[in-house]
Structure 1
């Protein structure tokens, strides 16, 4: 990007598509979605170049074409031309927004980039005469996105339809609005083979991770974010939410959230998690999904680096306050949280009038809270669905003792600082008289060194001089980071739920089960396979626990969705995803010929987020923890706990240099 591009004012482009006028199963809220988003974007302080394509059903039973002028119809030709126009007009640094409300269709996975477990999505557009349907397949849509992103344009996509699933919208009266796959449409409008060759040959892989996820149709997700109304095999709904007219629920909640943030520079991740909380409260069977770069802001640039992604979204349901984390996330009874409302003036997660709370009951995936006696009832009653919650203490960290050598430099100061962090179990060691997870000693240069429970020095730990400025806080941050890493590594749940699936790793040398030790060479391709043997959908989260003490999601979305096996409906009940293993370049340059990675896999029966368990590479700061006061019990209980279950698997992978 040259100087002219850096100083040029950013331009904003939007394509809004809403289709009610389907010959089969017409909708009532899709055009309303497009119009509402259009009105919102026109109020932005930056001018947006908007192209809106809508299909409103004419009044009268004999009406077969949309009420709008043909130039405004959302036909395949008009939509693809509008996407091409954005590609032609947008410049590096510009922002593009694409919103689709309408029907979609699930197709069998026949292409190289399609999702084998759930099939491929096709958006249902209109034919050029407005009387029929023509599919815009997922991979065609991806190719258009790829062309826009390749120019350095930041793209936000909202799909208010079923994404990679089988059905689309349905009414509040539970009337299913599904358009089944029609092979005759594909026969009339076949997709060109060159498209898929282009996707395969020009896809880019990230090289900053030890484990690189091989591409699917979401090519190079760094430049865009896609939010979808629901997961595969789920129903996306429309309802009367404002007392006047129907809307798609995702579109409506998106607008409500953007208005709450008072600006479109809100972080995508916070918007998504707030919307998820609202869905859990009112429509728990519909689970939105987020794909791509979660660091982008909505229809803007990158999120503020100071933004704290490690927040939980809570929901207010019935008489109690529920937290969307539980035992699977390392949360237990007595853990302390600080609840906060998002700041309406700045659109950032700034805590104002924080409300302290304590976990009263930790369920498998959710928890209920209680509040200190000193907290006024009106403060508790002010809590709303979509508030954030930062964890203040994590009691399970105390399972991993930290011992300090008696000759440690500034021992009293280090010990006092560790004791102030209520989550850590730290004491002065008698050296050899007790077990511990970590031991802090001095080396001959008066640097703090950290040993593991076998008295072996930990690798890839930054040098911490006893005489450096902020040396003790730096040491504490590292110890807390290491302790949390160990907690996540050892999270386990021995339940009968393990019998409902089979998970294995496949490498060039064979197949491996959880707890096996796997050896690969840098550059090797590895496949992860899960079979759903149960009768309900499961959610699969795959994390890499790397040699630099980082915990990172290794796919472009939070989780995979695996419906149960239903061959007649096109669900094979099997998920396969591929990875390429890589010895980190900085370790190779430092002379390391081997490193250890751990695949940590969480499998759940309900949608959840494990964002709270993620860790950056060791060395970044960790917020200081503070104790809170005595608490009292509030009303509320965890509902439907029997529907919550989880499993945690660990695959140890040793990567060797060639």
Structure 2
């Protein structure tokens, strides 16, 4: 009789470190220091430990995931249990956190664990010059600070070991936001800075031996931990907002971010599907903000991986979040006029949990929807097939991708007679599915207005010219000697047209009150022709001041010489936009120095000048521009050495009048927006 084969245990590839602190009781040091019995302050939470327990239970079914939990609850006064009954190595102390992080780093050096997830639920605080997490300490003060600079050093080391790191912080770092009356004081995950606690919190960095100390040029960040290079950070709110606990049925509490994250992960496990990190974040942002309008989850750092998903290659498609407004029985698309949406555009909508892996077939049929009532930052959708309406009652959150566009400002592309007639007809047919292109034959009356012109050479190659009949150099060579030759041509033309569309895109009728609620200042000043002349390797500075009574949001796109459209905020690891608080707040002025360089691919070609267009979107509420991003057409090298923005100190500025002629056509009542283009010519 043969012995049954032993099955080897699955190798551990993922490590989750879960830290939850409910107990926060410390001595009040603000009163009489000579008192024998100084009063204590109880800032304990009720849902932090429940957060990490829920995430742990969600991960325990995954055999390749190792979980380490450090947590302490606030004991029930009527119960006999205490922290003395708990294994000391499972308490969320600073020493235990350091010990576990070092183990994770050591494991990475052995090429074992490659994915790390760190989840903290508890109080955060803002200490002079740093952010900090409040950990448990078995002393009369019951808390100790873990500085974010120390945590960032540990994360940097993990990244250098080739590990993919995701950090989730269900806490907040701002005490400046007024607490609303509907929130319990113990539901806010911020603890006031305490000098005694700080003095007991040894600021020595145990990971300093691994810290290079390199100053990270090319970014503007509020904190080094959020200046995430190579790892992902998801926070419960922006640095100027408060993170809240949500009260469930029965009076139990959970952190809003942790609760919706856990619910989403369980649903994905049930349907056995995979979504991208971007969709996961967008969904969390939508759900949390709907429950707590004063709280908006933020994402910093890399967007290309997440602990909860397999690494999926770029799908090449951007989905936009869609929510069902049950009261008004309409679908709301999280994109509007500012994103180039037009009435009549058609979208395919999928349940938000539908897989985005191109290798998988969708498990549910898409729902075709048409745009109507375009607002500034959002739009309404109606289903084309009324038989699909019943699906909205059971699924409230969707995601959509455009399938047909009716932009009134499409880019004209002229087709020369040198192109074989059969190919011309196929190009004209393809235009029906293109969002940004309208083709015109050489004999058409509108041919002379075309932005780009395409011809065919004697060498069986397509040639693309600009409006002035100058050939665009540096583009990939496209031949037409096979039946698939039109695909790369169409992709290139669509890319160029998209670039020009967003270059010319703007709002010609911004709301006057919003228009006057902020100011811009630039240095150096523009020349008489409107261009800014900047020497290679030096800074062009943009300063934005919020002079209004509400926060504003800034997205910065760089339209580069390589025909790349880059979201500079996301590229710098700062999320998708900057939030600038209202007038009077210490951070109501934002200065962004941008180092300008002639790209490497142009310098290699002997060119000494380059032109960038910096496009600023100023909006009244947070939004995103995923559909506007486009990769370089000139190869990977063109991305290096282009415009980057680096850190700087805010200063006062004068009012800067907008001079651009905006080309938008609609005003809006559900979110205001303004655009401004800055034309920058860099020279060597």
Which TM bucket (shorter chain)?
0.7 to 0.9
Residue 450 of structure 2 is matched in structure 1 by 436
Q: CA RMSD in A?
A: 3.4
Q: CA deviation at 1:421?
A: 2.5
2:577 alignment counterpart? 559
Pairing partner for 2:231 from 219, 224, 246 = 224
CA deviations over 1:282-317 (Å, ceiling 9, x no partner): 33332111111111032466x311534511111112
Could you say which structure has the greater relative contact order, defined with CA pairs below 8 angstroms and 6 or more residues apart?
1
User: Paired residue for 1:404, among 404, 415, 433?
Assistant: 415
- 1:46 paired residue among 64, 75, 80: 64
The aligned counterpart of 1:22 is 24
Structure 1 residue 135 displacement after superposition: 1.8
Contact 1:124–1:133, Cα closer than 8 Å, also in 2: yes
Partner of residue 49, structure 2: 31
Q: 1:392 aligns with which of 376, 390, 403?
A: 403
- Counting only pairs closer than 5 Å after superposition, residues 593-612 of structure 1 correspond to structure 2 as 593-612=608-627
Query: Aligned partners of 1:361, 1:375: CA distance in 2, in Å?
Result: 22
Which of 516, 519, 525 is 1:502 aligned to? 519
1:241-256 counterparts in 2 under 5 A?
241=248, 245-256=252-263
Alignment of structure 1 residues 240-389 onto 2, 5 Å = 240-241=247-248, 245-262=252-269, 266-299=275-308, 303-317=311-325, 318=327, 319-342=329-352, 351=362, 352-373=364-385, 375-385=387-397, 387-389=398-400
For 1:535 and 1:47, the matched residues in 2 are separated by 47
2:72 is aligned, of 48, 55, 70, to 55
Contact in 2 for aligned 1:278/1:315 (Cα 8 Å): no
The equivalent of 2:121 in structure 1 is 101
The 2-side partners of 1:133 and 1:656 are apart by 55
Change (3 A) 1:94 1:100: same
Q: C-alpha separation between the residues in 2 aligned to 1:414 and 1:648?
A: 36
The answer as to whether partners of 1:260 and 1:344 remain within 8 angstroms in 2 is no
Residue 183, structure 1, aligned to residue 195, structure 2: yes
Distance (whole Å) between structure 2 residues aligned to residue 60 and residue 335 of structure 1: 60
Structure 1 residues 66, 10: CA separation in 2 closer, same or farther (over 3 Å shift)? closer
Residue 490 and residue 243 in structure 1: after superposition, are their counterparts in 2 closer, same or farther (change >3 A)? farther
Whether the 8 Å contact between 1:545 and 1:597 is mirrored in structure 2 is yes
Give the stretch that moved more between structures: 551-560 or 242-251: 242-251
Deviation at 1:184, TM superposition (A): 3.7
On the 8 A contact 2:164/2:307 being kept in 1, the answer is: no
Cα distance, 1:350–1:527 mapped onto 2, change above 3 Å: farther
Report how many residues are paired. 606
Distance in 2 between residues matched to 1:335 and 1:548, nearest whole Å: 29
What residue in structure 2 maps to residue 71 of structure 1? 89
| 1:42 CA drift (Å) | 1.1
TM-score, with structure 2 as normaliser: 0.80
Structure 2, unaligned runs of 5 or more:
1-9, 26-41, 636-667
Tell me the CA shift for residue 378 of structure 1: 2.2
**SS where residue 246 of structure 2 aligns?**
strand
SS at 2:313's partner residue? coil
CA–CA distance in 2 between the matches of 1:418 and 1:405?
17
> Taking structure 1 as the reference length, what is the TM-score of the superposition?
0.83
2:200, 2:484 → 1: CA distance?
69
> Is the contact made by 2:157 and 2:210 (CA closer than 8 Å) also made in structure 1?
no
Whether the 8 Å contact between 1:545 and 1:598 is mirrored in structure 2 is: yes
Judging changes above 3 Å, is the alpha-carbon distance between structure 1 residues 198 and 402 closer, same or farther for their aligned structure 2 residues? same
Kept after mapping to 2: 8 A contact 1:203/1:219: no
Checking the alignment, whether the CA contact within 8 Å between 1:343 and 1:350 is kept in structure 2 is: no
Write out per-residue CA displacement over residues 629-648 of structure 1, whole angstroms, 9 at most, x where no aligned residue. Answer: xxxxxxxxxxxx74611122
Check conservation: 2:175, 2:192, Cα contact below 8 A: no
Find the aligned partners of 1:60 and 1:10 in 2 and give their Cα distance.
40
Shift, 1:408, TM fit? 2.6
Aligned to 1:84: 102
CA displacement at 1:245 relative to structure 2: 2.5
User: For the residues of structure 1 that align with 2:593 and 2:259, how far apart are their CA atoms?
Assistant: 36
**Structure 2 partner of 1:113:** none
Deviation at 1:101, TM superposition (A): 0.4
User: Residue 492 of structure 1 aligns with which residue?
Assistant: 506
Pick from 450, 461, 470: which aligns with 2:484? 470
SS of equivalent residue, structure 2 residue 373: strand
- The aligned residue for residue 554 of structure 2 is 540
Shift in alpha-carbon separation, 1:560–1:22, aligned structure 2, 3 A: same
Q: CA–CA distance in 1 between the matches of 2:100 and 2:264?
A: 27
Aligned equivalents of 1:200, 1:492: Cα separation in 2: 43
Q: Give secondary structure in 2 for the equivalent of 1:369.
A: strand
In structure 1, stretches of 5+ residues that fail to align are 1-7, 111-119, 206-211, 621-640
Give the distance between the partners of 2:385 and 2:630, measured in 1 at CA: 34
Alignment partner, residue 634 of structure 1: none
Relative distance call for 1:28 and 1:214 in structure 2 (3 A) is: closer
